[in-house]
Structures are given as structure tokens and as C-alpha cells.
């Protein structure tokens, strides 16, 4: 990526199990069709905020999400990709449309299931944001028990480096990345600030 005076931190959230065609979520919903087993999301840009006092910068960027594939071990008699127990838990019956968005938060019922969020609560959605504070990029991850999160970093959107793995426990966990501490390798830059992209891979262990 070219260096610009303005630092752009782009959040890229992926899962790597790309066996099925990905769907693109441009923040307000999927913008392309395809199989429902694997989704990607390019979320909406988040606000640019400059706080001189606090040294906090929120950068415009993208949030991309690719959700994991429903594990084969999940009981899914009606084969809609949603755990049958989950369908009963949140909708009281089988037959939930995985592509529908019950709470109209821009995340499909299937994506909510895969991320472990509440499909009936528009405030419950996996959509991390990040900010740069005193040179350290911070991205709070609202984790869910029963999900793991791999966080990858790249400078060129091609070579990704696994930077952190979080085990979901229902708490918000903070991922931080200080580019000035990278002394060698693909994430190293001679100048700061540089451009980095972040990827969060949701896993169902």
C-alpha cells in the first residue's frame, strides 16, 4: 500500500475456510449472493475522529468478516446451516431462514449463529472497530464463549502474519499492535506510521 500522510488502518476480518463461495457484507448486509456456508463482510467505514488531547485517532477503514463454516458435528436435521438447538433457543422452532436478518442489524441469522451473537438483538453483532492511540493500534473484540478468534496482520494484503489468538469467554478482549516494536519480517516498516491491515478469523473450536 502506498504511504500517505494520513494513516489508514483498515480492519480486515476473515475466516480462512473458503471452501464455499463467500458472500460480501458491505456493512448493511450481503451485497452478493452465493452459498450460505461462508460469509465475508466488508463493513462500513467508521468515523474519523481526531483527539489531540488524548492522542486518539479513529481511522476510516473497512471491516471485513468471513465467518467459519458450520461444523459437521453440529446437529442440523433440516440442513439449513443453523444448529437446531440454536433455532429452538432463539426462534422456538426449526425452519429459520439463515439468510434473513431477524433483527435488521445487517448481519444474517446464519452469520449471527456462526459469530455467536443474538439474532434478535440488533445491538448484538460482531463488528469490531479499531483506533490508534499513542501509536498503538487497539481493537476491542467482544468475545463469545464457544468461539475463538485469530487476529492476523499484513502490510500488503497478501502475506498475513498471525499476531494473536483469543479464546472467547464472553468478555471484551483488547487486541493491541505496536508497529514500532516490529524489528524485522513482513510486518516491519522503516517509517512510522505505516499502513497495516487487520484480519480477525472467527473459529468454532
Phi/psi for 165 (5° steps) reads: -125, 125
Q: Which stretch binds Ca ion (CB under 5 A): 10-18, 44-52, 83-91, 192-200?
A: 83-91
Collapsed DSSP state (helix, strand, coil) of residue 108? coil
Pair type for strands 63-66 and 22-25: unpaired
In angstroms, rounded to a whole number, what is the distance separating the alpha carbons of residues 56 and 51? 5
In angstroms, rounded to a whole number, what is the distance separating the alpha carbons of residues 48 and 60? 6
Nearest residue (CB) to Ca ion, 127 versus 199:
127
Closest distance to Ca ion from the beta carbon of 99 (Å): 11
Cell of 128: 469490531
- Nearest CA to 107 out of 15, 187, 42 is that of 42
Q: Does 179 help bind Ca ion (rule: CB under 5 A)?
A: no
Nearest residue (CB) to Ca ion, 101 versus 201:
101
Whether 130 and 138 have beta carbons less than 8 Å apart is answered as yes
Whether 193 and 182 have beta carbons less than 8 Å apart is answered as no
Closest distance to Ca ion from the beta carbon of 72 (Å): 13
Q: Does 101 help bind Ca ion (rule: CB under 5 A)?
A: yes
Q: CB-side exposure of 113: number of CA atoms within 13 Å?
A: 31
* Per-residue binding letters, 106-135, with Ca ion (x by CB under 5 A): -x----x-----------------------
Q: Which stretch binds Ca ion (CB under 5 A): 11-19, 32-40, 105-113, 142-150?
A: 105-113
Q: Does 103 help bind Ca ion (rule: CB under 5 A)?
A: yes
Closest distance to Ca ion from the beta carbon of 192 (Å): 38
Q: Does 82 help bind Ca ion (rule: CB under 5 A)?
A: yes
Q: What is the DSSP string of 31-58?
A: SS---SSEEEEEEPP---EEETTTTEEE
Cell of 50: 481526531
Residues of this chain, 39-78, that bind Ca ion according to CB under 5 A = 76, 78
Closest distance to Ca ion from the beta carbon of 167 (Å): 24
Nearest residue (CB) to Ca ion, 28 versus 60:
28
Binding Ca ion by CB under 5 A: which of 25, 64, 105, 179?
105
Binding site for Ca ion (CB under 5 A): 76, 78, 80, 82, 84, 101, 103, 105, 107, 112
Amino acid at each position: 500500500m502506498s504511504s500517505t500522510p494520513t494513516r489508514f488502518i483498515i480492519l480486515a476480518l476473515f475466516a480462512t475456510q473458503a471452501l464455499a463461495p463467500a458472500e460480501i457484507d458491505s456493512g448493511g448486509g450481503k451485497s452478493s449472493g452465493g452459498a450460505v456456508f461462508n460469509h465475508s463482510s466488508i463493513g462500513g467505514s467508521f468515523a474519523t475522529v481526531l483527539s489531540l488531547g488524548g492522542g486518539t485517532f479513529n481511522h476510516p477503514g473497512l471491516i471485513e468478516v468471513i465467518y467459519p463454516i458450520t461444523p459437521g458435528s453440529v446437529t442440523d436435521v433440516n440442513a439449513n446451516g443453523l444448529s437446531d438447538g440454536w433455532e429452538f433457543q432463539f426462534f422456538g422452532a426449526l425452519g429459520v431462514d439463515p439468510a434473513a436478518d431477524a433483527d435488521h442489524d445487517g448481519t444474517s441469522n446464519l452469520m449471527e449463529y456462526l459469530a455467536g451473537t443474538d439474532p434478535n438483538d440488533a445491538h448484538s453483532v460482531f463488528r469490531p472497530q479499531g483506533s490508534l492511540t499513542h501509536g498503538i493500534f487497539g481493537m476491542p473484540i467482544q468475545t463469545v464463549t464457544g468461539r475463538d478468534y485469530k487476529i492476523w496482520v499484513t502490510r500488503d494484503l497478501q502475506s498475513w502474519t498471525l499476531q494473536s489468538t483469543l479464546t472467547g469467554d464472553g468478555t471484551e478482549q483488547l487486541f493491541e499492535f505496536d508497529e514500532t516494536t516490529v524489528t524485522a519480517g513482513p510486518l516491519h516498516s522503516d517509517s512510522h506510521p505505516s499502513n497495516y491491515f487487520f484480519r480477525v478469523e472467527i473459529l468454532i473450536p
